[in-house]
Amino acid sequence: MKCFSAAYWCLIYGFLAYLWLLFISEIIERTQSFKSSFLTGAVILTGTVLFLTLVHRVTASAEKKNVNRIAGSASFCLVILIHFYVVPLC
């Protein structure tokens, strides 16, 4: 059951990483018209904080085991690294 749980959280965190990439790329496209890069950064920061609250709600139901946290965090980082270094996902 431990492997199934870790695989499940890898899938969930990987999907959340992809959603975050879609969200950030859409925000960057929409805020290019802003004259101030400070406003763009503030919008991205605000959106990321809101996204983190969503992630907290999703993971609140998780079994609080280190295996699940490590597997989920690793898959989140793996999706981000694949996006930036291998092939753009969105």
Domain boundaries, the chain: 2-58+65-86
Q: What is the token pair recorded at 61?
A: 């139901």
Split at pLDDT 50, 70, 90, the class of 1 is: low
Query: Which pTM does this prediction carry?
Result: 0.79
**Residue ranges in the chain assigned as alpha helix (H):** 2-30, 37-59, 66-81
Alpha-carbon distance of 18 to 83, in angstroms, equals 9
Rounded CA-CA distance 41/52 in Å is: 16
**Is the CA virtual torsion 18, 24, 27, 31 positive or negative?**
negative
Could you give the CA distance from residue 61 to residue 80 in angstroms, rounded to a whole number? 24
* pLDDT tens-place string over residues 5-43: 788 888 888 898 898 888 888 888 888 877 778 888 888
